[in-house]
Amino acid sequence: MNAPAVAASREGALLSITGVVQGVGFRPFVHRLAMRHGLSGWVLNSAGDVQVHVEGARQSIDDFAHALAAEAPPLARIESLDRTACEVDGLEGFTIRESHDDPDRRQPVSPDVAMCAACEAELNDPSNRRYRYPFITCTDCGPRYTVIDAMPYDRERTSMRAFTQCPECLREYQTPGDRRYHSETNSCPACGPRLSLVPPFHMVERGPGGEAHVVEKRSGGEAGGVERGSEEPIDEAARLLVDGKIVAVRGLGGFQLAVDATNESAVRRLRIRKRREAKPFALMVRTVAEARALASVSWAEEEALASRERPIVLLRKRADAPLAPSIAPGLDSVGIMIAYTPLHHLLLERAGRPLVMTSGNVSDEPIAIENADAQRRLRDIADAFLLHDREIVARYDDSVVRFANDAPVFLRRARGYAPLPIDLPVPTPVPLVAVGPHLKNTFTVAHGRWAFVSQHIGDLENLETLEHFQAALEAYKRLFRVEPEVVVRDLHPGYLSSRVAEELGVARIIGVQHHHAHVAAVLAEHGIREPAVGLAFDGTGYGEDGNVWGAEVLVADLAAYRRVAQLRYAPLPGGDLAARSPWRVALGYLSLEPEAAGAFAAAFEGVPERERSIASQQIVQHLNAPLASSMGRLFDAAAAILGVRRLAQYEGQAAMELEALAGRHAAEPLPFPVRENGRGAWVLDPLPLLFALGERRLAGSGAAELAARFHESIAAASADVALRAAAAADTRLVALGGGCFQNARLLVSVRARLEGQGITVLVPRRLSPNDGAVSYGQAAVAAARLQRDLVL
């Protein structure tokens, strides 16, 4: 064949690539690829995409374009690749050009990801110039979202701009083919961020005459802080940890509090100082093998543990695990993550044991990110501070995931996942902000089909969390260039989020019912626009009738819903207080059927008579005793009646303990009847179930067996009512949402019962079943309504 004449002619092509293509080593990758295919031209970051101009033989350009998609760097996510022919400029060589900006374009930002294997090898190589350098990164790994101020992604728009690259780093940065070619976070011990270890400020107490006494001096040694860019602060911090001390570590997206996980008195001291009575602490280890020594790890769990996202994975604790009992009291699970930064690796290696690695905050406040703020807020908790001088731009909690039959269930979505966008099946015709729920808040900023769901923000109950919310929202609006024309909020008039929505100064506000948002979030995540049955089981959500909803069966699409079944209403004496006192919930149910008093007796053991009589009065007089149909509270009532828990130290504790108690033993359901309410809807009546639990407990049945039967009763009744609703609505789709579906036993059982009847069950995949998904659901509902209004 004599084709050389064709092959020799030069052609030009302009390629535009969208998706996560900035901050992930994409330009260097394009450069390498162009060199390999003998093409000349340039690549640049623009605000909306990466643009590539190549010149060369037709076949080479084809191969190049194919390889762009097929061999993209690990962190890249290509959404589209457009190619158009263009003029041949006769360019020599291939260059990376200056970024240019287009204020109307937007594009995703990469999450932070764990240290890659190549960097880890260098970290442990004594001959490497970055040996034991705690901020080692490359184009494939390290911080991104937590250092980026604005797009396009270049060092000058990140918190790395404070560190000027030394000649050697600069050479890597400028050398095509180097792993750190155009790596914007590139640094080394000579030019990068530095660590220091400092003691907390001394606590001073003034006497009556104003004289000062240093009452406590917890410190990392008399010599004061070790402030060097070397590894010494890590050695010293590790020594303190081994000594049972608490060290506040400035990590990737905020401070963490570290303590020896095998030292019970140290863990207990952390609980007391942090004012966190019982809520489980997460652990950090270096390897999957170390995790296996503490918990059983399935292949799916191993994959998640070792993934570059490195979430905390909730694992089944081994009975012989050498862990302090106070880490997760009353639970059979333990949350473990694998070290994800070089700093964590070095610290764990030196400490030589698993460490508790919990958020650096006091009770429900957001985590601290700035050195001075942490030193102020955590001074009564930490014995020393391991600091660094690279500013954290965004607060970024650890993500938490658990597995239900090898399928991941998010409990918290933050580091490693946010702020990647999630598609909206119905694109929003105008930019919008959905401010999310009251508890476990996230917000969503949406433009077109892109929904940028924020990382976990927290409970909007204090000023600090509200400020975190506002700062993060400003950052999202800036990064993704969204100026909202619509604000979406919950229906509850009293929530802080509702006030925030009003204060955004946007004229158009759309209200979305909480449980509709839950169901819409699941439908939207699966790209479903048609109506489906939705089970929304959670603690609390404001109902359209003014009551507290929380065990709702809806027939819903993205724009609208009908409530077709609910849990029977019962008064909730004390309102929000009841979420922390399961006995009050039991009392509310008892008021519906006073003759059950004997069976319910265990719920009130140890409850002061006076408190009980006040709660009874509240019920009788309808004072602060709202009617509730809450599945979360039903779990509380059952826990109280079984004598498992009458007072909760954190929300959801009773339910988590019931799940742990139930284990995986097979169990038969107890009676949990479904009846029609005469208005075309069904009511699930839990009183026979609660009564049976109490009676059997009195008769000597074990709490574990009854906890298992309770779970199966809920699952069977839910599946039953979902099937009836699906038949009536002529659908085979059932979506499961709401915080109760974090309960793996309940989720697995409901799912199996429905799938056994030929139903397609939709469960949350990329978002949590809990309120962390509500803002995305709100955005999906608002987008669908806005779109519908355009059509009408």
Binding positions for Zn ion, rule: CB under 5 A: 116, 119, 138, 140-141, 166, 169, 188, 190-191, 538, 771
Least spacing, CB of residue 24 vs Zn ion, in Å: 11
Nearer to Zn ion, 635 or 691 (CB): 635
- The values of phi and psi at residue 70, to 5°, are -75, -30
Nearer to Zn ion, 138 or 381 (CB): 138
Least spacing, CB of residue 147 vs Zn ion, in Å: 15
Supply the DSSP symbol for 195. E
**CA-to-CA distance for 553 and 299, rounded, in angstroms?**
34
Nearer to Zn ion, 516 or 568 (CB): 516
With a CB cutoff of 8 Å and minimum separation 6, the contacts of 557 are 523, 529, 530, 531, 532, 784
**CA-to-CA distance for 659 and 708, rounded, in angstroms?**
8
Task: Quote the distance between the C-alpha of residue 251 and its chain's center.
Answer: 17
- The values of phi and psi at residue 631, to 5°, are -70, -40
Least spacing, CB of residue 119 vs Zn ion, in Å: 3
Nearest alpha carbon to residue 398 among 316, 485, 483, 283: 283
Contacts 24+ apart (CB under 8 A), 293-297: 293/318, 293/321, 293/322, 294/318, 294/321, 294/322, 294/323, 294/334, 294/336, 294/354, 295/321, 295/333, 295/334, 295/336
Least spacing, CB of residue 415 vs Zn ion, in Å: 17
Least spacing, CB of residue 498 vs Zn ion, in Å: 15
Nearer to Zn ion, 322 or 546 (CB): 546
Decide: 132 and 191 in contact? Cβ < 8 Å. Answer: no
**CA-to-CA distance for 725 and 556, rounded, in angstroms?**
11
Residue 323 in tokens: 């862990």
Nearer to Zn ion, 119 or 257 (CB): 119
In which order are the strands placed within the sheet that holds 94-96? 77-86, 10-20, 50-57, 40-45, 94-96
Nearer to Zn ion, 19 or 772 (CB): 772
Nearer to Zn ion, 344 or 697 (CB): 344
Decide: 140 and 116 in contact? Cβ < 8 Å. Answer: yes
Nearer to Zn ion, 154 or 538 (CB): 538
CB neighbours of residue 532 within 10 Å: 25
Least spacing, CB of residue 141 vs Zn ion, in Å: 3
Least spacing, CB of residue 626 vs Zn ion, in Å: 16
Can you state the angle between helices 631-641 and 582-590, rounded to 10 degrees? 90
Nearer to Zn ion, 550 or 694 (CB): 550
Least spacing, CB of residue 579 vs Zn ion, in Å: 12
**CA-to-CA distance for 402 and 743, rounded, in angstroms?**
10
Nearer to Zn ion, 301 or 538 (CB): 538
Nearer to Zn ion, 190 or 727 (CB): 190
Nearer to Zn ion, 25 or 311 (CB): 25
Residue 157 in tokens: 């728009």
Least spacing, CB of residue 140 vs Zn ion, in Å: 5
What's at 17, amino acid-wise?
Answer: I
Least spacing, CB of residue 739 vs Zn ion, in Å: 6
**CA-to-CA distance for 636 and 644, rounded, in angstroms?**
9
Q: Positive or negative, the Cα torsion across 620, 621, 623, 628? A: positive
Least spacing, CB of residue 371 vs Zn ion, in Å: 22
Nearer to Zn ion, 135 or 583 (CB): 135
**CA-to-CA distance for 16 and 88, rounded, in angstroms?**
17
Residue 441 in tokens: 């808040």
User: What percent helix, strand, coil does the chain show, rounded to 5?
Assistant: 35, 25, 40
CA 351 vs CA 240, 294, 318, 336, 564: distances in Å: 9, 17, 22, 17, 56
Least spacing, CB of residue 696 vs Zn ion, in Å: 31
Least spacing, CB of residue 581 vs Zn ion, in Å: 20
Nearer to Zn ion, 56 or 738 (CB): 738
Q: β-pairing, 333-338 with 247-250? A: unpaired
Nearer to Zn ion, 531 or 738 (CB): 738
Nearer to Zn ion, 197 or 548 (CB): 548
With a CB cutoff of 8 Å and minimum separation 6, the contacts of 742 are 402, 409, 411, 768, 769, 770
Nearer to Zn ion, 165 or 653 (CB): 165
Least spacing, CB of residue 175 vs Zn ion, in Å: 14
Task: List beta partners, residue 760.
Answer: 733
Least spacing, CB of residue 522 vs Zn ion, in Å: 12
Least spacing, CB of residue 253 vs Zn ion, in Å: 18
Residue with structure tokens 């270890």?
197
**CA-to-CA distance for 593 and 448, rounded, in angstroms?**
52
**CA-to-CA distance for 442 and 419, rounded, in angstroms?**
11
Residue with structure tokens 């917000």?
443
CA neighbours within 13 Å on the CB side: how many for 698?
A: 15
Q: Per-residue DSSP letters for 740-758?
A: GGG-HHHHHHHHHHHHTTT
Q: Per-residue DSSP letters for 263-290?
A: -HHHHHHHHHHHT-SSSPPEEEESSHHH
Decide: 728 and 634 in contact? Cβ < 8 Å. Answer: no
Least spacing, CB of residue 163 vs Zn ion, in Å: 8
- The values of phi and psi at residue 2, to 5°, are -110, 80
SS3 of residue 507 by DSSP: coil
CB neighbours of residue 30 within 10 Å: 29
